[in-house]
Copies of this chain bind each other. A is one copy, B any other.
Amino acid sequence: MGDHKKPAVTLQTIADELQVSKTTVSNAFNKPDQLTPELQEKILATAKKLGYCGPDPVARSLRSGVRGAYGLVLTESLSYMVTDPAAQQILQGIAEVFDERDLGLLTLPARLDRSSVVNRVREAAVDGFILNSLASDDPRIPSVLARNQPVVVLHSPRIPDVGYVGADDFAGGRKAAEHIVALGHRKVGILAFPLHEDDFSGPISIDRLETATVEPARERIRGYREVLEANGVAWNQVLTWEAPINSGEGGALGAGRMFDRAERPTAILAISDQLAFGAMEAARTRGLRVPQDVSIIGFDDIPYAAKTTPPLTTVRQPLRTAGALGARMLLDGWDDEAPSVILPTDLIVRASTGPATQA
């Protein structure tokens, strides 16, 4: 790969070669109007001759204070993020804005089992951060805030004086539950992705729900609960399952346990489309028809939701918009108090939900 230990060509090397000051050489690269075109050309030529490839970005940042990149802090690892369609949508929104402005996006490592990830946040050479869907007790948050740089949070958690873009998860949860209740369902199961950043998996206790650190999960379920209880379905009649990860497999497992009970639910409320897909899969393997035998509703409306058989009824939230809006908020800053945008959610009725059968 060639040796990267050349005697180090710097501005000074070129300045010496041409008997000019290094400031002038610097200007040749950054402020061409400050010198005669001839001299600039001569400097550029010499730079090329000596194998100089432009001012060192690190040194430049140190002096000028500008990094030209922003950090992206994610739940779970980057490799997971890439596989999560909802996260992809958000990332796409962010990326649009960053592309538009020619800025780099530094994705930070996120394995919380490593204490070093907190340090990586401290060590990142960036101008600010986007925090996406973190638990409110994520250890990286204090590190980010300590840096006193612009920060925007997407979806979770809400932090005082920090810009925020999220969706109205509570209302979305209500819409999903209202739809299901209106179809006559009373025996329902709730499928959730993690409510806390531990590795728990199992039924969700009231306490666990109320103390949940992952806010969208908590709010969506609160929405379900409020509507269910208002319709005479007590919380202890509702089956619940928290998957250890937001994936089809997690959903399939949880839904499977519900389907295998004597009194199986006639409807599944999943707090993400991914989980809902898993529930559909679990139904399929058990010979249950969707929606005749069981109705399934998701949350997010990721693109694939329209393509499943049957197409998934779900609650849409504008993920890409959220990403783009958050990015713009971060880059443009704000004047007085930190803005907080709550995007609307919409019930998208497709074919995976239907009336409850009397059976």
Contact = CB atoms under 8 A, between A and B. Distances in A.
B147 A124 contact: no
Interface stretch (A38-46, A107-115, A187-195, A204-212): A107-115
A99 B105 contact: no
B92 A82 contact: yes
A35 interface: no
Contacts of A143: 53
Interface stretch (A56-64, A132-140, A282-290, A347-355): A56-64
B123 A57 contact: yes
Contacts of A2: 148, 161
A343 interface: no
Interface residues of A, number: 68
Interface string A44-81: 00000001011011111110000111010000011101
Contacts of A333: 1
The copy count of this chain in the complex is 2
A31 to B, nearest CB: 14
A92 B82 CA distance: 6
A230 interface: no
B109 A102 contact: yes
A102 B309 CA distance: 40
A146 B58 contact: no
Interface of A: 1-4, 6, 51, 53-54, 56-62, 67-69, 71, 77-79, 81-83, 88, 91-93, 95-96, 98-99, 101-111, 114, 116-117, 119-120, 122-125, 143, 146-151, 161-163, 304, 309, 333-334, 338
